[in-house]
Amino acid sequence: MFVDYAEVFVKSGDGGDGAVAFRREKYVPKGGPAGGNGGDGGSVYIIADANLSTLLDFRYQKKYIARKGDNGANSLRDGKYGQDIYVKVPVGTIVKDKDTGETLCDFTGAGQKFMAAKGGRGGKGNSNFATAVHQTPRYAENGKPGEEKTLIFELKLIADIGLVGFPNAGKSTLISVISEAKPKIADYPFTTLEPNLGIVRYKDFNSFTVADIPGIIEGAHEGKGLGLQFLRHIERTRILLFLIDAISETHEQDYETLLNELELYSPALASKKKIIVISKGDIVEESEWSKLQQKKFRDYDGKVYVISSAAGFGIQEVLDKCWQEIALEKEKLID
């Protein structure tokens, strides 16, 4: 099961209290203060794990509480520190504070770590308060409380190519052909109810990732259909591949509707590099392909590709184009 949203309560450990104690050793007739310090409480860390792909675990465990630091003891013995807790999330997870709405961390790479709740500091024992004029302090410091907060985890798939299209545009079929992903495929709308991520094995041992997202409909930016789930994930892709059904009678209008939904949700999302592909080319006459390729789409001056995932034609040319555009986007990041 793919889960892309979770609410989690985290609490770091309280610091241990400092001790009030005095030396009672043989041959030390006037023993001084000997209370040890309390240990610091454990902290709660969140770490990105490349082996995870869903937030499903947080459906079953919603609280993460670190251990309290031990109290100080006599003979200047400090309390043991509370053990830290490490909460693993998939790469692509955004962590927000539920109360303030503030984004605390955006996990874009494996191994990235963030301290979500810092452990409370341990209190000082009375040995720390002895002075020349006050040699027998009979007080110590209490440990500081740990932090606690409710966090929101939102998972946004990170992919090189995001497939954009109406339900039944052929996205699931395409990703099943070009990768090892096995999405549900059927002849009714919304067969894709959750995102699928496929790895495309390209030439010379290269590879790139493609995300098949639930189909978009008009009003998706307002949450209609599966819109918000779709838009949340497509936001992280480098390049948008628009898939338009060849048997549609309104190709330009279909594209306009899709692009409009992206613009209403996020202008930055709509401005990403685009590739337009007419799918199900095997259903129309071959003589129609050139007409399809000559269609004009707003804000797009690239080539229009015609493919058939079922028959296998046109696929390699599209993959070559995807790889070329991915390389260009990566160069921009380096520059």
Q: Tens digit of pLDDT for each residue in 196-212?
A: 778 888 988 888 888 87
Looking at the DSSP bridge assignments, the partners of residue 154 are: 5, 94
How buried is residue 332: exposed, middle or buried, by Cβ count under 10 Å (0-12/13-18/19+)? exposed
SS (H, E, C) 178-222: HCCCCCCCCCCCCCCCCCEEEEEECHHHCEEEEEECCCCCCCHHH
pLDDT in tens, 253-288: 999 988 888 888 788 888 889 999 999 998 888 888
From the list 47, 52, 151, 45, the residue with the least C-alpha distance to 104 is: 151
The per-residue pLDDT for 192 is 44
At the top level of CATH, which class does the domain 161-334 belong to? alpha beta
Domain boundaries, the chain: 1-155, 161-334
Please classify residue 198 by burial: count the beta carbons closer than 10 Å to its beta carbon, then call 0-12 exposed, 13-18 middle and 19+ buried: buried
DSSP 104-165: EEE--STT-EEEEEPPPPPPPPGGGG--SS-------PPPPPPPEEEEEEEE----SEEEE-
Backbone angles phi, psi at 11, to 5 degrees: -145, 125
Q: Is the pLDDT of residue 131 over 80?
A: yes
Q: What is the pLDDT of residue 20?
A: 95
* The pLDDT of residue 220: 41
- What pLDDT does 333 receive? 61
pLDDT-wise least confident of 185-199, 213-227, 275-289, 316-330:
213-227
Give residue 52's pLDDT.
84
Topology annotation, domain 1-155:
Spo0b-associated Gtp-binding Protein; Chain: A, (2.70.210)
Residue 24 CB partners (closer than 8 Å, separation 6+): 31
Lowest-pLDDT choice from 11-20, 27-36, 135-144, 235-244: 27-36
**Residue 169 · residue 241 · CB < 8 Å:** no
